[in-house]
Amino acid sequence: MIGAVIYARYSSEKQNEQSIEGQLRVCNQYAEQNGLTVLDTYIDRAMTGTNDNRPAFQQMLADCEKAVAWDVILVYAIDRFGRNSIEIAVNKQRIKKNHKTLISATQRTSENIDGSKNLDGILLENVYIGLAEYYSAELSQKVKRGMNENREKGLNPGGRRTFGYRAENKKIYVDESEAEIVRYIFQQYAQGVNAKDILADITAKGVTHYGKPIPLNTLYNMLRLKKYIGIYHCANKDYTNIFPPIVPVELFNEVGRILESNKKGSKSNDVEFLLKGKLLCGHCGKSMQGDSGTSKSGKVMYYYKCMGRKKYRNCNKSTIQKDKLEQIVIDTTKQIFSVKENVIAVADAVIQSHEKRMYNRSLLTILQNEREEIKKSLSNIMKAIEQGIITATTKSRMDELEQQLADTENKITIEECKLQNQLRREQVIEYLTHAVIQSPRLIIHNLIQKIVVYDDRINIYYNYLNKMPSPDNPPDNGEYLAESGHNNTLTKGCSDFSLVVSPNKT
Ligand SMILES: [Zn+2]
């Protein structure tokens, strides 16, 4: 049996600081799992100001000097033991003199519970100390715990301020003047006033959020926001103890019904023009854009129209039915990519581009070496501190190194993410073959550079360049124009857009 005490500290200046209860729970659990018997707890509740008046901590250090039945001081995280690296090192030195061991319940430390050296823990400890804040994993673990406890207690869950509420002493309160506006918005909408008019109305009255007029989509979001009836949904759970209700449930539900029916009604206005941004008029070279009109029978028709004709009335290109044109483009694309060589050509272009990125692996190696160097320097400084060698420049040098280490870690993470995106040729080929059948629109979006529409034919220019569908690598139209060798021009004779397509590779 090894005797231990728990030291917990809560600092009010840190956001989402782990609560005392949370720290004790984690420490007790750790003690139980590791054969430690907790004999006492020392707790410093939130201190005001920045003074180093931590009575429980001082008491614990004093107790270390006495004949006590414990050898281990258990903390939630090493940063409990001081507010900066030097303080931690000095305090550790003090307890070490009295043969006490510092153990963190959430981090590996330089010593094991029995006081023996934990070699890989030494490096880790040096990194944790003072750097815990920078470690996103550590940080997010703490933040998550803190936020979860906050929610259970009905405290402010954080994040951007919601219109209608204000935060005070960690609690959410109704901001009465804004709540009035929220209710007004709901009432107006329930009475059939449309959102744009409501917005114009309140904006004219000078209503702002974060100092700016409320945007239309925010207004729509507000109309759906369950916080206004007191429900806050987070981590698969509804919390009713955080946001006081502002809007009566009946009014909220009524607005919900109207939103739903308007959504259905407006669906037809929400038609996706698949060839948007790709279509050019063969007569005047201007873009052709989606448009709609109502036929004599009252049916809404969708088509693409030359902007030269619509805006400047200097082009006589006839409009084209949306569905027909899109179907031709889809069919043609499927046909093009049913030819294995075409798929391989695109796949190779993709791989080529990826290899360019792979070439940057050398950058990762450089960064990794850099990181090792910084860690070595940090470790050396820590050793010096533990031996009592502290100069005026030590602290600033240490801060500098810690900042460097954090920066380097970030860069490494970014490079690693890039490289994880590795592609194999077969994968790409498989992707293209399937995607063209399953989601031709995706292929159209990514692999078609432009489509030029004449009266008697359509030219479709496919990107055979090294641009692939990926969010961080959107196809950059225009760049391809200079690279004519990479374009596959499909020319087809076509007058009424129902002719059979015959690919004509150039
Ligand atoms: Zn035109």
Asked if 309 and 477 count as a contact pair (C-beta separation under 8 A), the reply is: no
Structure tokens, 240:
């009713």
Q: Which 3 state secondary structure label does DSSP give 216?
A: helix
Rounded to the nearest angstrom, the distance between the alpha carbon of 451 and the centre of ligand 1 is 13
| The domain made up of 2-149 is a member of CATH 3.40.50.1390 | yes
Rounded to the nearest angstrom, the distance between the alpha carbon of 504 and the centre of ligand 1 is 25
Residue 500 scores a pLDDT above 90: no
Rounded to the nearest angstrom, the distance between the alpha carbon of 490 and the centre of ligand 1 is 20
Q: Residue 499's pLDDT is what?
A: 24
Separation CA 258–CA 186 (nearest Å):
11
Residue 227 scores a pLDDT above 90: yes
Asked if 308 and 314 count as a contact pair (C-beta separation under 8 A), the reply is: yes
Q: Residue 272's pLDDT is what?
A: 76
Rounded to the nearest angstrom, the distance between the alpha carbon of 460 and the centre of ligand 1 is 17
Separation CA 491–CA 506 (nearest Å):
9
288-347: per-residue pLDDT in tens?
Answer: 998 888 878 878 888 899 998 888 888 988 889 998 888 888 888 888 778 888 788 777
Rounded to the nearest angstrom, the distance between the alpha carbon of 312 and the centre of ligand 1 is 10
Q: Residue 350's pLDDT is what?
A: 65
Rounded to the nearest angstrom, the distance between the alpha carbon of 455 and the centre of ligand 1 is 11
Rounded to the nearest angstrom, the distance between the alpha carbon of 318 and the centre of ligand 1 is 8
Rounded to the nearest angstrom, the distance between the alpha carbon of 319 and the centre of ligand 1 is 10
Q: Could you give the count of Cα atoms lying within 13 Å of 396 in the half-sphere of its Cβ? A: 3
Structure tokens, 430:
């498989």
Query: When comparing pLDDT for 347 and 230, which is higher?
Result: 230
Q: Residue 483's pLDDT is what?
A: 23
Query: When comparing pLDDT for 416 and 94, which is higher?
Result: 94
Mean pLDDT in residue range 30-36: 88
> What is the bridge-based pairing of β-strands 487-493 and 457-463?
antiparallel
Structure tokens, 262:
């308007």
Paired with 238 in beta bridges are 233
Separation CA 316–CA 203 (nearest Å):
43
Q: In what order do the strands lie in the sheet with 320-321?
A: 288-294, 300-306, 320-321
The angle, 0 to 180 degrees and rounded to 10, between the axes of the packed helices 216-224 and 195-204 is 110
Rounded to the nearest angstrom, the distance between the alpha carbon of 286 and the centre of ligand 1 is 6
Query: When comparing pLDDT for 467 and 183, which is higher?
Result: 183
Mean pLDDT in residue range 81-98: 76
Rounded to the nearest angstrom, the distance between the alpha carbon of 313 and the centre of ligand 1 is 9
53-62: per-residue pLDDT in tens?
Answer: 688 888 998 8
- Please tell me the CATH superfamily of domain 155-269, with its number: Putative Large Serine Recombinase; Chain B, Domain 2 (3.90.1750.20)
| Listed range (80-94, 258-272, 333-347) with the worst mean pLDDT | 258-272
Mean pLDDT in residue range 72-101: 81
Rounded to the nearest angstrom, the distance between the alpha carbon of 285 and the centre of ligand 1 is 6
Structure tokens, 58:
């001082």
The owner of tokens 């190779």 is 348
Q: Which of 29-33, 234-238, 267-271, 464-468 has the highest mean pLDDT?
A: 29-33
Rounded to the nearest angstrom, the distance between the alpha carbon of 320 and the centre of ligand 1 is 12
Confidence tier at 504 by pLDDT (50, 70, 90): very low
Separation CA 109–CA 104 (nearest Å):
7
Rounded to the nearest angstrom, the distance between the alpha carbon of 311 and the centre of ligand 1 is 10
Paired with 73 in beta bridges are 5, 102
Residue 185 scores a pLDDT above 90: yes
Rounded to the nearest angstrom, the distance between the alpha carbon of 330 and the centre of ligand 1 is 23
Structure tokens, 488:
């596959």
Rounded to the nearest angstrom, the distance between the alpha carbon of 277 and the centre of ligand 1 is 15
Q: Give the other-Cβ count within 10 Å of 277's Cβ.
A: 10
Q: Could you give the count of Cα atoms lying within 13 Å of 473 in the half-sphere of its Cβ? A: 13
Give me the residue spans of the domains in the chain. Answer: 2-149, 155-269, 353-418
| Listed range (5-14, 281-290, 391-400, 474-483) with the worst mean pLDDT | 474-483
Asked if 158 and 15 count as a contact pair (C-beta separation under 8 A), the reply is: yes
Mean pLDDT, all residues of the chain = 74
